[in-house]
Amino acid sequence: MDIKLKVVLSSIGSVISSTLIYIVLHEGGHSLVAVICGANITTFSILGAHMSYDGGIFNSFTLALLDVAGMLLPVLVSIIYMIFYQGGLTSILYRIFSFLFVLIPISSILAWVFVPIFYLFGKEPINDDVTRFLNNTGINPVVIVVAATITLTCCIFIAWNKKIIQNYWSTLRSVR
């Protein structure tokens, strides 16, 4: 098979699978906390990227955990994936999938950088996980921006050190 076609097909497959896995992990994070708090999951939609629940016993801490879990679970799984990443493998699909599998959850941290800034100016999105987290905790938005920026930087550092980014670009350059 032509290398350009392999890259295109691997990219399409990786975007679709990475996105679906991210949605499952994101909604799964919310669902896990809800179940731990005694709730019943009534809706878990991958295509709608939505979950809902009935019941449960929540306090301000568990509500905050419910809000942050949608970002934390995918990021933690991404970090674990990066730790076990095999940089020496030359498979086009593996390199492209690995980059996207790491990129999508890490990109979700950006909401935790920007939404608190909007929050400071009263322009936060309503019903957003970050907005609810800030409302439930009362934590200063600047603290969230700093924590999210540190987390984002650490994840990029790991991806760089494991050569996930370099291997992805090397694979794309090989198409020329």
In the prediction, which pLDDT does 95 show?
Answer: 97
Give 128-165 pLDDT, tens digit per residue. 999 999 999 999 999 999 999 999 999 999 999 999 99
pLDDT, tens digit (0-9, with 9 covering 90-100), for 101-126: 999 999 999 999 999 999 999 999 99
pLDDT at 17 over 80: yes
Separation CA 112–CA 145 (nearest Å): 6
Per residue in 71-102, pLDDT (tens digit) is 999 999 999 999 999 999 999 999 999 999 99
pLDDT of 175 reads 79
Partners of 50 in the β-ladder: 45
Classify residue 147 by burial, with Cβ atoms within 10 Å: 0-12, 13-18, 19+: middle
pLDDT (0 to 100) of residue 16: 97
pTM metric for this prediction: 0.92
Q: What's the pLDDT band for 174 if we cut at 50, 70, 90? A: confident
Q: What does the alpha-carbon distance between residue 122 and residue 109 come to, in Å, rounded to a whole number?
A: 20
* Distance between CA atoms of residues 53 and 118, nearest Å: 28
pLDDT-based confidence at residue 1 (cuts at 50, 70, 90): confident
Neighbours of 71 (CB within 10 A): 23
